[in-house]
Amino acid sequence: MAGKSLLSLFAVLLWSPKVLCYVEDLDDTFKEKRMDEVWLVEFYAPWCGYCKKLEPVWYEVGAELKSSGSLINVGKMDATAFSSVASEFGVRGYPTIKLLKGDLAYNYKGPRTKEDIIEFANRVAGPVVRALPSRQMFEGVLNRHSVLFVYIGGDSPLKEKYIEVASEMIVYTYFFSALEDALPTNVTLQELPSVAVFKDRTYFLYDAYQDGELSSWVNRERFRGYLHIDGFTLYELGETGVGKGVSGSVPDRDFQFGHMDGNDYINSLIMGEVPVPSIIVLNTSNDQYFLLGEPVKTLDQLVQFIHSVLDGSAQAQGGDGIFQRIKRVAFDARSTVMSVFRSSPLLGCFLFGLPLGVISLMCYGICTAESDDGTEELDLLKREALPEEDEYEDRRREGEEEEEEERQEEKSAADKKVD
């Protein structure tokens, strides 16, 4: 047993430096050499907890890309030490992951897992629009990717627009092009050229009159019909304006279906307690939500609830009014205080107890000063007035003594005359 432990330790010690060498530490000279290569770079801060959590994943990314023969270079840069370089690339938070390809810089906004980061790097490092010359290759791509966009047809203004949109949205999904004879047999086009999205074992065609701008349509359609939703995905759905909710899909596709593990995130979002399991509809445009008051037992019951949200008969809760904003501020403050005390009671006492103690002393001092009612000033005035009163008393006594002496002299003079 001890031998196996030593062998494992020895293997780790040999493997770790090899992994580390696949990630290059970058400095300000990086700007000069990056133009001729593709780089996947993490901008970090030494004190950042999220950066420390990402560090082992980042070394695994570098090792796997190198072992697969990828031409993508992996590096990391201390954005606090080389702040001018970080500012040039628009780094505003840590960690920031960017793929740099020539003059272009692509931000990574997905989950910080090895698989997701590698998938992003391989997708963005390749051509913006990949060609599908045969039906066999088309069907192979459909089996590998859950969502993909395809331009069908020859050169046209729509193709130019498609390439422009793909250049911006390649960070999220794949873009392909094909001729009509390469399409699967079950695909029917209304016109050429066309743009289609393939997902959920079906496809949807872009209609410029109904769907508006191509970029907006792509941004909405890049999600699968049913998602495992977390806080990041929910934020992305809200930013893209996908439908009105996180639960449901009706014929007019106003809803996005999904599920969440647990209720912690939803509880913090609605500032309440949601039982598990529950069905909730979130309106990402105004922060309203709709809850079904009873357990869902049939499909008809669920569909009826969704339609009641659409026609406005369901009761909306929450919202983005002034009362809800004030409530949100108070809720966030309370949650922050509680989380600090749960994670470190001593730190919580220090962070919140010390300021409260200082404020208490200040209030006590102010109240004490106000309760004197000017007594000290009156005492001072009295003390200043005492010398003047004493001087007046002395002069009065001297006057009385002089008058007494004069009376005595007059009396003595009168006595002498009598004699």
Q: Is 349 noted as a catalytic residue in this protein?
A: no
Q: What is the mean pLDDT of each run of 10 residues along the chain (419 residues)?
A: 42 46 86 85 92 93 92 93 90 92 88 92 94 94 94 95 95 94 92 94 93 92 84 73 45 70 77 81 81 82 86 82 79 70 67 73 74 55 56 65 70 61
Antiparallel, parallel or unpaired: β 147-152 and 174-178:
parallel
Catalytic residue of the set 21, 51, 363, 367: 51
| pLDDT number for residue 386 | 54
Structure tokens at 289: 């939500």
Instruction: Give the model's pLDDT for residue 15.
Output: 43
pLDDT number for residue 304:
87
Residue in 48, 349, 363, 367 annotated catalytic: 48
Contact 114, 141 (CB under 8 A): no
Q: What is the pLDDT of residue 217?
A: 93
Per the annotation, the verdict on 363 as an active-site residue is no
Q: What pLDDT, on a 0 to 100 scale, did the predictor assign at position 183?
A: 94
pTM summary value = 0.68
CA separation for the pair 197, 176 (Å, rounded): 10
The Cα–Cα gap between 81 and 83 comes to 6
Beta pairing, strands 72-78 & 257-259: unpaired
Q: What is the pLDDT of residue 5?
A: 41
Q: What is the pLDDT of residue 9?
A: 38
pLDDT for 21 equals 66
